[in-house]
Structure 1
Amino acid sequence: MEAGNTSNVASSEAKDFGKAFCIITGASKGFGRCLAKEISPLLKPGSVLLLVARSGDKLQELEGDLSSQRDGLLIRSVVADLGKKDGVETVIREAKKTPSSDINNLFLFNNAASLGDVSRYARSFTDMDEVNEYLSMNVSSALSLTAGILQAFPARVGLRHCVVNVSSLCALQPFPSWVLYCMGKAARNMMFRVLAKEESEIRILNYAPGPLDTDMQTHARCDTADDGFRTSIIAIHSEGRLLTCEESVGKLLKVLLKDDYESGAHLDFYDL
């Protein structure tokens, strides 16, 4: 699908996302939490924001914050472990409570992910159950959830679909002792590139948010086994080169509002 080849793409950047149903996984902290806060003012009254995460307390806190700031926005939360089949099914059931006829735009942000064990090298991962558990959370769930949402909200005139995969430079480049994370991000990128080829009417974006100042980055600085890579991660932090979630989310939302990217493309924060 060529960039901008949709009936709903405006010639200039839109000011908001209209009346939308927006699903954000991994919404309780970091990039996902920031995304929920930054996108809510861009949703017209009557829109629905569905927040998904494993932490019920943090979701409840976020829901309260957003509800106090926005009138006319319905906010719902789902506590679910997306690494489990019933977790994915719970999200899909909750999503189906929003009538398709009530919205003009459907957004699915596949943000939930984990770093995995970066304290070891690839040759140590002999336990298939351990690897499969990681892939279930970081790859299988994204495919099954996306497929379930697309089936629940089939194409119709006046309904625009947009699926965003929160990706990483690790989807494109190998980093020693990060075999699980690199493998998962690469698989997800290809998954959504294939979907873009199959579903030309759906807008699909792989967005790499850059090095963010989050708990995951702290974990990486402490636990990365490879000395050279760990040193480079520490340097990014000590030199003040980490991005805030607000900076990265802001750029993503500008890309989505402008809507002139090629569907299925991998876009990095630093490329924009």
Structure 2
Amino acid sequence: MMSSASGFGKALVIITGASKGFGRALALSIAPRLAAGSALILAARSDDLLQQLKADLSRAHPALTLRCAAADLSCQAGVESVIAAITHSDPDIEHLLLFNNAASLGDVSRFCGDFTDVDEVNSYLSLNVSSALCVTAGVLRAVPRRSGLTRVVVNISSLCALRPFPSWVLYCSGKAARDMMFRVLAEEEPELRVLNYAPGPLDTDMQRQARSSSADDALRSSFSVMHAQGQLLTCDQSISKLMQVLLEDKYTSGAHLDFYDL
């Protein structure tokens, strides 16, 4: 079933990294596009911030079922808690939408040659790569293919998936791996709708960290200039483009689309 012009009908929506930044804005943006009886699953590490978001959404959209999964996705228990949150969802949904948004920038104050601790690198990859695969597999198993159901998996990607940024070896590697992961998924399961969406340079805490901590002088300077000149995007600007792409449903499954391509 295709999306209607205005929304996603009765849907089950899962957003990881929902407590702040892009994930929080995404939850607030998609909620009005869901029909009564839809369920919105909000996952992040901070239970306090999730509960605040849930309260805000409950007041504005009382017909939605809202569940929070306060989870550290870098470990198995965290992944399982997200899957558990969807197990009692309405079986008559028209749309499944999974947004793999949870991510961290990693330590950008060092260059490749400074990373000698395997445990440190593995910890980064667990949150930023492994969890995205395991959450996606778990969700797709819990909500299997059936007639009348459109299943959509969105990976929040980055230009860093395609282009090397000096001092950002962890972030670039993680984003590149995730893009390929979801391209493979699109090849394996043609019935799925899979999208790698790069939201552009957003005015978020992560961008603030990039401006202050990046070891590469030119990169740090360029981000500072973008911020000073008002060239960073708001989350809502980027999400508006993403919603348009998903509702029109004309993209090639597995594609990498950037905000500036649309």
Distance in 1 (alpha carbons) for counterparts of 2:105 and 2:93: 34
Alignment of 1:157-236 (within 5 A): 157-236=147-226
Q: CA deviation at 1:233?
A: 1.0
| Cα distance in 1 between the residues matched to 2:59 and 2:201 | 31
Q: Secondary structure in 2 aligned to 1:253?
A: helix
Between the aligned partners of 1:85 and 1:73, the Cα distance in structure 2 is 28
Shift of the alpha carbon at 1:9?
Answer: 3.7
Name the counterpart of 2:145: 155
Which of 28, 34, 39 is the matching residue for 2:19?
A: 28
| Equivalent position of 2:37 in the other structure | 46
Q: Kindly provide the amino acid, as one letter, of the partner of residue 179 in structure 1.
A: V
Distance 1:9 1:19, change over 3 A: closer
- 1:91 Cα offset (Å): 0.8
Partner of 2:75: 84
1:152-185: CA deviation from partner (whole Å, max 9, x where unpaired): 1110111110000000000000000000000000
CA contact (8 A) 1:9 1:260 kept: no
User: Cα RMSD over matched residues?
Assistant: 0.9
Contact 1:104/1:158 (8 A) holds in 2 = yes
Q: Which residue of 1 aligns with 2:239?
A: 249
Q: Which residue of 2 aligns with 1:111?
A: 101
Q: For the residues of structure 2 that align with 1:237 and 1:103, how far apart are their CA atoms?
A: 41
1:103-128, Cα deviation, whole Å (9 max, x unpaired): 11100000000000000000111110
- 1:72 and 2:67 are equivalent in the alignment: no
Q: Partners of 1:97 and 1:90 in 2: how far apart?
A: 13
Q: List 4+ stretches of structure 1 deviating above 6 A.
A: none
Looking at structure 1, the residues matched to 252 and 81 of structure 2 have their Cα atoms a distance apart, in angstroms, of: 32
Provide the TM-score with structure 1 as the length reference.
0.95
1:138 lines up with 2:128 in the alignment: yes
What percent of counterpart residues are identical?
A: 63
Question: What's the CA shift string for 1:67-98, capped at 9, x where partnerless?
Answer: 00013111111100001111001111111121
